[in-house]
Amino acid sequence: MPTVRYHRVDVFTEVPFSGNPLAVFPEGDGLDARTMQAIAREMNLSETVFCVRPSEREAAVRLRIFTVDRELPLAGHPTVGTLFVLAATGRIPLHGARTEVKVQLGAGVLPVAIHADQGTVKSVTMTQRTPAFGLAVRDREFVARALGVRPEQIGPGELPIRVVDVGVPWLLVPMIDLRALRNLQPDPTLCREVARIAGTDFFYVFTQETDDPGCAAHARHAWYGVGTPGEDPVTGSAAGCLASYLVLESVLLAAPTAELRIEQGAEVGRPGQITAIVDADGTRVRRVQVGGAAVHLGDGELWLS
């Protein structure tokens, strides 16, 4: 009977059963895309990753990342979590306190750094694509109605609603405080119309009011289309977009580097934190990195027939 082994890991946390859960299949060669998608639906997580042989010579591994309804060109917590598992299980050898490898994703070949202490993996940091900033969505009243909040709860001031893309496009929506963010009641019909206008059905809502005073923002994955099973707890690609946005809009000063933490997941009982590093010339973002810790929970196998 054909079998395929997998690992379970919680990402962007040091505490089991918090952060963002992930399934990693380290031996994905031989599985076709239809089977990968079926397995991702069966795992029923935000994402499931399959490691396959890279087609680019410089890459150590190629990652194919699936939600329950689509393959993604890039995602943060799957990349961080998978490299954590591969290093922790010896599939990627460590070279001291910092090991750098290149990973092939649908969005291209990107560098990843694995941080270790005396042979134990502590965290992983990935470089994302240079952000592309879309035009602002100016109909704040319509976006507010779609999210189930009042128009005056979007802000503060003229801080725009904007699409940012570091490999996956996210619509970023600022909120005035935690109360507004926690009272979201998205309307599926209206959110689909906003998604049509924005060109993405991934909405990331944030506020500069935080639970942890050491964090720069508190965020939620506010809308996730129709296929994703519930609210994504802690979202690495969106955090890279948000960190870049905060520098672009002069909320944060990168002179020439800004490092910040973003908290997410408390509203769904899986709190976690993402570290983001932005390199910029003024408000022109040159590079964004995101990373964090992970907890390896165990492994298992699936029977394929």
Residue 76 has pLDDT above 60, yes or no: yes
C-beta neighbour count of 212 within 10 angstroms? 12
Judged by DSSP in three states, 179 sits in: helix
In contact, 221 and 184? CB cutoff 8 Å: no
Q: Which helix (H) or strand (E) holds 104?
A: strand 98-105
Q: Which domain holds residue 69?
A: 3-127+293-303
| Distance of alpha carbon 76 from alpha carbon 234, whole angstroms | 9
**Ordered alpha helix ranges (H), the chain:** 33-43, 76-88, 140-147, 178-182, 188-198, 236-248
Is 117 in the same domain as 177? no
Is 103 in the same domain as 194? no
Is 122 in the same domain as 226? no
pLDDT over 90 for what percent of the chain?
Answer: 93
Is 179 in the same domain as 248? yes
Check residue 225 and give its pLDDT.
67
Check residue 227 and give its pLDDT.
54
- How much is the CA Rg of the chain, to the nearest whole Å? 19
Tokens standing for 282? 């003024």
Residue 260 has pLDDT above 80, yes or no: yes
Is 37 in the same domain as 84? yes
Residue 235 has pLDDT above 60, yes or no: yes
Task: Look at the alpha carbons of 71, 11, 131, 142 in this order and tell me if their dihedral is positive or negative.
Answer: positive
Tokens standing for 136? 């602002």
C-beta neighbour count of 304 within 10 angstroms? 12
Check residue 247 and give its pLDDT.
97
Among residues 198, 197, 188, which one has the least CA distance to residue 225? 188
| Distance of alpha carbon 136 from alpha carbon 158, whole angstroms | 11
- Number of folded domains that form the chain: 2
| Distance of alpha carbon 220 from alpha carbon 205, whole angstroms | 5
Is 54 in the same domain as 69? yes
Is 111 in the same domain as 166? no
In contact, 35 and 44? CB cutoff 8 Å: no
Q: Angle, to 10 degrees, between the axis of helix 140-147 and the axis of helix 188-198?
A: 140
Is 20 in the same domain as 85? yes
Spell out where 157-270 has E strands. 161-165, 169-175, 202-207, 217-224, 257-264
pLDDT digits (tens, 9 = 90+) for 7-19: 999 999 999 999 9
Q: Give the CATH number, domain containing residue 169.
A: 3.10.310.10
Is 206 in the same domain as 97? no
Is 62 in the same domain as 100? yes
Is 88 in the same domain as 207? no
pLDDT digits (tens, 9 = 90+) for 264-293: 999 999 999 999 999 999 899 999 999 999
pLDDT digits (tens, 9 = 90+) for 110-160: 999 999 999 999 999 999 999 999 989 999 999 999 999 999 999 998 899
**Residues recognised as catalytic:** 47
| Distance of alpha carbon 166 from alpha carbon 75, whole angstroms | 9
Over the chain, what is the mean pLDDT? Answer: 95
| Distance of alpha carbon 123 from alpha carbon 11, whole angstroms | 10
- Helix then strand count (H, E) for the chain reads 6, 17
Is 280 in the same domain as 163? yes
Among residues 30, 102, 80, which one has the least CA distance to residue 275? 80
In contact, 94 and 121? CB cutoff 8 Å: yes
Is the previous residue joined to 256 through a cis bond, with omega within 30 degrees of 0? yes
